[in-house]
Structure 1
Amino acid sequence: PFTSQQPRGAALPPPIPVQVMYYYAANGQQLGPVSFDKLKELFANRTINRDSLVWKQGLMAWTALKEIEELKAFLGGSIPPPLPQM
């Protein structure tokens, strides 16, 4: 009889995390979707800047790059958030 090599109730690997895809506005056009790394590249070569509008799933509206938490790293001088007040 055919038996599978996997023991019963074996844990399945977690699903592959879905990469967040971003849309951005440049030269009056909506462009994308692009990955975080590609967006970083666009910022580095000045295709977009801190005031460029960016949108990703979960945002209610187009938002300036400088307002999106994970994109603030692009701006350099990464300032840690203030310490919580005890």
Structure 2
Amino acid sequence: MTLLFYITISLFWGWITALFAQKKGLNPRNWYIAGILFCALAFIAVLFQRKKNLKIPNPVHKPELIPIDPPQRENLWYYLDEKGQQFGPISFQALTIAWKNKKIQGESYVWNEDLENWKKFKEVLKITTPKI
């Protein structure tokens, strides 16, 4: 009965130690074994471990803004914000930055000298995401 009790307690401490180790970004399997062998001592050791910084890599392929008519890339652009205030003239690169900063949405109106009237952003420009 004493041996069964010790095994149960060891498995419990192994499980608790592995759980806390996983939350801190440590290898839970190794800490599970340490928890079984050293019980509360391994658990205390995990508590004093620093949390590893789990870095999520930035996506390699970011969306790009492309004019439907490629020569329009060289034009100066104007756009209207949600309040109807006009901005411009700006380069295509500045227009792209405004889009990335969410100053321009798909329903925003844009214009350049090749367009007869103001058109919705999504009608004149397309967003592409390079395939991986």
Out of 113, 119, 126, which is 1:57 matched to?
113
Who wins on radius of gyration, i.e. which is larger?
2
In the comparison of the two structures, how many residue pairs are matched?
57
TM-score, with structure 2 as normaliser: 0.40
1:38 & 1:65 partners in 2: Cα distance?
A: 14
2:122 & 2:114 partners in 1: Cα distance?
A: 17
2:128 & 2:98 partners in 1: Cα distance?
A: 15
Higher helix share: 2
Q: Secondary structure at the match of 2:122?
A: helix
TM-score, with structure 1 as normaliser: 0.59
1:45 & 1:61 partners in 2: Cα distance?
A: 25
Gaps of 5+ in 1: 1-18, 79-86
1:51 & 1:77 partners in 2: Cα distance?
A: 20
Give the residue type in structure 2 aligned to 1:66: K
> Does 2:92 correspond to 1:36?
yes
User: Which residue of the partner structure matches residue 128 of structure 2?
Assistant: 76
Gaps of 5+ in 2: 1-73
User: Which residue of the partner structure matches residue 23 of structure 1?
Assistant: 78
Give the residue type in structure 1 aligned to 2:98: L
Deviations 1:60-83 (A, max 9, x none): 110011111xx21xx2346xxxxx
